[in-house]
Amino acid sequence: MQQARADGDGRINPEDLYRYYQQRTGINDVATMLMALSAAVMRADGKVLKAELDYVKAFFNQQFGPRFSAEHLQTLKRFLDSGDIPLDQICRDIQMRMPEEVRIQLIHYLFGIAKSDGTVSESEIKVIEDIAQKLRIPRVEFESVKNMFYRDTNSDYKVLGIEPSASDDEVKKAYRQMAIKFHPDKVAQMGEEFEKGAKEKFQQIQDAYEAIKKQRGFK
């Protein structure tokens, strides 16, 4: 395998890092995609925390099995220690390979990394939002996932992709559409840990709907 060249400060330049990514995705597609995006979020606030690393390791152990761990961690370290991660190219590649429902689940996973230390910082939100745009995730879907991890007074409505001014019938319709679109069966082929994340998202959609129902007093 061709070795990536380093800049004067020892960091791999973006062009060579993307070549490394392409070589790796020829061997182990999803894992390398996840590691590249994980590293971008972990680096967002200027420090890589143990809680974030533990979250990623637990996800990969569940998703791919312990035998992959050492190799995965080496790939993650390569991205963490690099210069600028070429997100434009990587996200374009992922966008062409994965259907929208799986790409949305990737955003859910990235927010899980950001929240692993208890809070989601503005810098982490900015990076994940940039990734979502590059993955061509619709804005309403991004806001839905974001508000599962970073809540305000209107978060239940944002989870359902609607405004607080929506009528009761519009709330019910939005819930039905979200429940169908994000049913865990949609990502079942991606493995157990992706399905687990989808079930969490599905439950949060239900919880948001129940909270709005209780607040408004309809059945």
- Which residue do the tokens 């993650």 mark? 76
- pLDDT tens-place string over residues 160-170: 999 999 999 99
Q: What percent of the chain has pLDDT over 70?
A: 89
Confidence of residue 73 (pLDDT cuts 50, 70, 90): confident
Helix 139-149, helix 100-115: angle, nearest 10: 30
- pLDDT tens-place string over residues 188-216: 777 676 777 788 888 888 999 998 988 88
- Which residue do the tokens 């982490």 mark? 124
Q: Is the pLDDT of residue 97 over 90?
A: no
Residue of 135, 128, 35, 31 whose CA lies nearest to 79? 35
Q: What is the pLDDT of residue 113?
A: 94
Q: Cβ neighbours of residue 23 under 8 Å, at least 6 residues apart?
A: 1, 2
What is the per-residue burial (b if ≥16 Cβ within 10 Å, else e) of 34-63? bbbbbbbbbbbbeeeeeebbebbeebbeeb
For 109, left (φ over 0), alpha (ψ -120 to 50), or beta? alpha
User: pTM for the whole thing?
Assistant: 0.71
Query: Which neighbouring-strand residues pair with 6?
Result: 12
Confidence of residue 154 (pLDDT cuts 50, 70, 90): confident
Q: Which helix (H) or strand (E) holds 86?
A: none
What is the DSSP-derived secondary structure letter of residue 187?
G
Q: What is the pLDDT of residue 75?
A: 86
